[in-house]
Amino acid sequence: MNEVRIGIVGIGNMGSVHAKNIVDGKIQGLKLTAVCDIDAHKRTWAKENLGEEIALFTDYKEMIKSGYIDAVLIATPHYIHPNIAIYGFSKGLHVLTEKPAGVYTKQVEAMNAAAKEAGTVFGVVYNQRTNPLYKALKKLIDEGKLGELKRCVWIITNWYRTQAYYDSGSWRATWAGEGGGVLINQCPHNLDLWQWLFGMPSKVTGFTAIGKYHHIEVEDDVTAYAEYDNGATAVFITTTGECPGTNRLEISGDRGKAVIEEGVLKFYELEQGEREYCFTSQEGFGSPKMNVHNVEGEGIETGHNGILQNFTNAILYGEKLIAPGKEAIRGLTISNAIHLSSWLGQSVELPINADLYLEKLQEKIADSKVKPEVTSKISDLQGTYNSRWDVR
């Protein structure tokens, strides 16, 4: 095989952008041969913008069985990601899914099992792993430059969204249609990076505010506190209701701290480990000598196209995946833990009780008010990237 034929399920916000980039030849070795969407308007858009030779489907199973594709890219509402992926694996296809892979961990466990049985490539679109600054920070941590990790604080409040955004789809911001708010829609990238850089916590305490800033039934404001087995802690703060927002990630360790803010990575390097200095210094108010470095990231930001190219290369050449699907369960576990803790009003230990989470989620779904079908009046939702997709 010297070319991967791919089909896309869902030609909405992200699916249309991926489709255009593939058709425009931005992903070497990847060819778009089919798309699937239940919305006739979106299929018309696909026919007019992607070329007459692209096969159009209304049923993802028919597309997967058609013989037109070797791989499927899933860009539908969250709940049906697992159904499409598992069916794709059952037919021997490679699968790339938009984030989140699923809404609850039991879904992703089933996806991972199906991928393992199929023996095909399973990737997830965690495009922020391609950010040179996050890559440079991970390298600092992996090389032990920060020493033993102590604390992670992430204030990520520049996910601002208007009411028009939430009104642009009947499934948006409902328990039945989306399975959550800012945690499940905007923050999967950040939750993935949190665990990718700092590791998985052992206990989480979450506080979520429902419709604090918007007319929605899910959370749009979150504060979470996490604990680790080695005594480290983490704080995560996010919202879609603050403007101007902040994006500041600070990770502290025994040998210093690293901060990413305003597109800059600073490393505050201690010449002597803090723990050693604490118990050997004879000064009551002293502190270890410190050097401050501006750390440059390597390469350029490749974003979504970088993930698509990596996925293609993994199929054709066995390249290691940047974001393997099997890792998608980690950030989702943290997300589910924050929700569950908030619902129960108490801390929860990881791994969470997946059955209890699903039980509580089903209660919310039962009371959910899925909105009538709507036609978006937003002009920037289909076919082109804009600043909301920039790595934050």
Say if 389 falls within a structural domain.
Answer: no
Residue 182 and residue 307 in one domain = no
Average pLDDT over residues 219-230: 98
Q: What is the CATH number of the domain that holds 94?
A: 3.40.50.720
Say if 201 falls within a structural domain.
Answer: yes
Mean of all residue pLDDT scores within the chain: 95
- pLDDT confidence bin for 192, thresholds 50/70/90: very high
Say if 381 falls within a structural domain.
Answer: no
What is the percent of the chain with per-residue pLDDT over 70, rounded to a whole number? 95
Residue 108 and residue 257 in one domain = no
Cα separations in angstroms, 231 against 152, 199, 201, 269: 12, 13, 10, 21
Residue 141 and residue 210 in one domain = yes
- pLDDT of residue 391 exceeding 70, the answer is no
CB 133, CB 296: distance < 8 Å: no
Model's pTM, two decimal places?
0.94
- In this predicted structure, what is the pLDDT of residue 382? 52
Average pLDDT over residues 39-67: 97
- Cα 301 from Cα 298, distance rounded (Å): 9
The 10s digit of each residue's pLDDT in 110-119 is 999 999 999 9
Residue 198 and residue 308 in one domain = no
The 10s digit of each residue's pLDDT in 249-306 is 999 999 999 999 999 999 999 999 999 999 999 999 999 999 999 999 978 899 999 9
Q: What is the CATH number of the domain that holds 243?
A: 3.30.360.10
Say if 388 falls within a structural domain.
Answer: no
Determine which of 201-210, 220-229, 296-305, 314-323 has the lowest per-residue pLDDT on average.
296-305
Residue 227 and residue 344 in one domain = yes
Q: What b/e readout covers 9-25, taking b as 16+ CB neighbours within 10 angstroms?
A: bbbbbbbbbbbbbbbee
Residue 134 and residue 107 in one domain = no
- pLDDT of residue 381 exceeding 80, the answer is no
Average pLDDT over residues 234-254: 98
Containing structural domain, residue 340: 129-299+331-366
Residue 33 and residue 152 in one domain = no
Residue 62 and residue 141 in one domain = no
Say if 238 falls within a structural domain.
Answer: yes
Cα separations in angstroms, 237 against 152, 156, 227, 247, 334: 11, 6, 15, 10, 13
- pLDDT confidence bin for 385, thresholds 50/70/90: very low
Say if 373 falls within a structural domain.
Answer: no
Say if 391 falls within a structural domain.
Answer: no
Residue 90 and residue 118 in one domain = yes
Number of Cβ atoms within 10 Å of the Cβ of 2: 5
Say if 253 falls within a structural domain.
Answer: yes
- In this predicted structure, what is the pLDDT of residue 380? 55
Residue 79 and residue 195 in one domain = no
How many domains, in total, are found in the chain? 2
Residue 94 and residue 52 in one domain = yes
CB 338, CB 104: distance < 8 Å: no
Residue 153 and residue 272 in one domain = yes
